[in-house]
């Protein structure tokens, strides 16, 4: 009281506001000060990564395309406002920059083992990953590149 300090641990640090500050005690409402954008968070591995990041007190930005219902199950994994869905278009570099501008860590989990009507195998697994890496370098954001090789049984 009186010193103006926030004792609730609910205020999150925005990117570029100085050093990363931790607030609160370890546990449910702990805030680590890290803001991570997890591209591909709605996929198989993404849900587990989002859960672990939220448990560690990280604010998780979940870029998604399509319906907002695809991220509903992820919002339950953290406190109110800790898991933030952000609509983006992977073909629009400005849209990708808008997501990355709010983060200080970027994790790429985008990948497909098959082509779709809208996205080729090359575009999803190579071009989008390259675009994320280039934008993160331009914005000076810490980038984690994750690559998974899928080997079909018929090729062994």
Per-residue pLDDT band for 16 (boundaries 50, 70, 90) equals low
Three-state DSSP class for residue 13: coil
Phi-psi label, residue 65: left if phi above 0, alpha if psi -120 to 50, beta otherwise: beta
Residues 95, 88: contact at Cβ < 8 Å?
A: yes
Answer yes or no: is pLDDT of 9 > 90: no
Provide mean pLDDT across the span 106-125. 85
pLDDT in the model for residue 153? 42
Identify the weakest region by mean pLDDT among 37-46, 120-129, 131-140: 120-129
67-108, pLDDT tens digit by residue?
A: 888 888 888 888 888 999 999 999 999 999 999 999 999 999
Per-residue pLDDT band for 149 (boundaries 50, 70, 90) equals very low
Q: What does the radius of gyration of the chain's CA atoms come to, in whole angstroms?
A: 17
Provide mean pLDDT across the span 97-125. 87
pLDDT in the model for residue 119? 86
How many whole angstroms separate alpha carbon 156 and alpha carbon 127? Answer: 27
Answer yes or no: is pLDDT of 45 > 70: yes
Identify the weakest region by mean pLDDT among 3-17, 59-73, 112-126: 3-17
Domains of the chain: 35-155 (3.40.50.720)
pTM exceeds 0.85, yes or no: no
């Amino acid at each position: 009281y009186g010193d103006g300090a926030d004792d609730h641990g609910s205020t999150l640090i925005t990117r570029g506001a100085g050093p990363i500050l931790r607030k609160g005690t370890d546990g449910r409402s702990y805030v680590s000060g890290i803001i991570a954008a997890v591209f591909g968070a709605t996929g198989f591995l993404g849900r587990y990564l989002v859960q672990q990041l939220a448990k560690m007190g990280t604010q998780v930005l979940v870029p998604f395309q399509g319906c907002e219902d695809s991220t509903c199950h992820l919002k339950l994994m953290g406190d109110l406002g800790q898991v933030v869905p952000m609509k983006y278009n992977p073909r629009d570099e400005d849209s990708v920059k808008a997501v990355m501008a709010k983060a200080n860590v970027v994790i790429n989990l985008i990948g497909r083992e098959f082509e779709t009507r809208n996205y080729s195998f090359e575009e999803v697994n190579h071009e989008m990953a390259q675009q994320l890496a280039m934008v993160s370098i331009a914005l000076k954001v810490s980038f984690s590149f994750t690559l998974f090789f899928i080997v079909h049984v018929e090729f062994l």
